[in-house]
Amino acid sequence: MLLWNGRVTGISGILNGALHFKKNDWLWRVLFVAGLIAGGFILKAIWPETIMNQSTRAPIYLAVAGWLVGFGTVMGSGCTSGHGVCGLSRLSIRSFLATLSFMVMGIVMVAAMRKLGVF
Amino acid sequence: MIHLASYFVVGVLFALGLGMGGMTDPHRVQGFLDIFGDWDPSLAFVMMGAVCLHVVTYRFIRKRATPMISAHWHIPERKDLNAKLIGGSLMFGAGWGLAGYCPGPALTSLTSLDMNIFIFVGCMILGMITFSFVDRFLTCRNPKNPMA
């Protein structure tokens, strides 16, 4: 992505942009997301175990978590790919702080679920 | 045309990397975050590998005057540290821990046709839309609001 198109590969930013139509800044986003899904089909065909092992939690967990991930990644301008991989590699202080925040919170969340016996 | 095709190709490669690295398995992701329980550190190597490789390739690639296909660079340039960055990241972390999905693997996992992942992605998109409404509302009310 960087070498070809000069962009950082931040999934949440690309997806969020795909939700708001803007001429000349939309189709590439949709195509990238389509590529992610097409890649999923290839994985499913070659290594089904990578794709078929999905969450077994009650749907309400997934709904709340999904909303938090959507809201949080746009508010914080990035997710694991944009901040965690591309940002850290660019030695960005913003991304370092963001990555630290979401890693710590993810760890706290899992620890809390364990404590409450729902993990 | 070629530049549009290249985005699709990158998407496919990215998805393959996520799958092979184990990021599309929410049990692995939650195991990685479970450092006080039954910790599975394998994803730390995936992440460190990705960052180490990209630290080096990033430097080399940025030495070019322009990218290979696009005429310009589109690299984030913001340096400000604010409550929005941290608050949003904390919310994202909470959701990530709760379900074991971040945005990329969630989209790739749609191909499992599992009901849960459709719920997750649907609510994720809803969350993104909610934020843009809240953000617009705050900016309208107080254009100088440092949070907005």
Dig out the tokens for B19 from the structure. 């799958």
pTM of the predicted structure, to 2 decimals? 0.94
Distances (CA, A) of A93 to A58, A73, A89, A90, B80: 37, 17, 11, 9, 9
pLDDT at B142 over 80: no
B101–chain A Cβ distance below 8 A for any pair: yes
| Cβ under 8 Å to B: A residues 15-74 | 15-16, 19-20, 27-29, 31-44, 47, 50-57, 59, 61-74
pLDDT tens per residue, range A10-33: 999 999 999 999 988 999 999 999
Would you say the C-alpha torsion B20, A39, B90, A112 has a positive or negative sign? negative
Residue B148: pLDDT band (50, 70, 90) is: very low
B69–chain A Cβ distance below 8 A for any pair: yes
Nearest-CB residue to B109 (from A40, A97, A109): A40
- CA-nearest residue to A78 within chain B is B89
- Structure ipTM: 0.95
Phi–psi pair at A51, nearest 5 degrees: -110, -30
